[in-house]
Structure 1
């Protein structure tokens, strides 16, 4: 974002290339979330369709987030916008910078480490 002096016509290579990392990551993350659901419910002797329906209903917001990125943001970022708006693409991608910290917080909660220094530093 800082390298674009013109918010409409400014160009940056990362605005174009990051999308090629984003596509496989979103697919992987969706699959990983489903696997977590499957492992969590495998003792309940549910068939795959029931597990999948439960996964869709319990993770509606996150699945919508991934679908919008894959089916709206990627086409807009790569084709529909032409050579305009790298600054705005950078703004959108910046919103994803918090993901590793949110994930670390969740992991520390599952490990019951909410009172650790790492958790406190991560959440502040």
Structure 2
């Protein structure tokens, strides 16, 4: 029996969610982190990724599968189910992601200050 993923794995303000460096779509890096410890079912991924709608999570998983970063396995047993796991290519993303997360954690205050400053500043309605 594998250890369940913690529901608060990605709190709203954690270095992983604050990281301005994107690996795939908005949620791909978090999905990869969830699969770091081994294969997971969709319902298991939904626990720490509760802010992601099932439709968007499905889209992210398909995109990661298309890119060769995860493998989807269908088990046609008495209770059919699907599991997702990192491929060797997907596992190779863990090291650069860890470096990006460490960077975001180191620059946490600066990132928050910059975002708050931007969000409270008056902006032109026109591009340019």
Q: What TM-score, normalized to structure 1?
A: 0.26
* Higher Cα Rg, which structure: 1
- The higher-RCO structure (CA 8 Å, 6+ apart) is 1
- Structure having the larger proportion of residues in helix: 1
Q: What TM-score, normalized to structure 2?
A: 0.25
- Structure having the larger proportion of residues in strand: 2
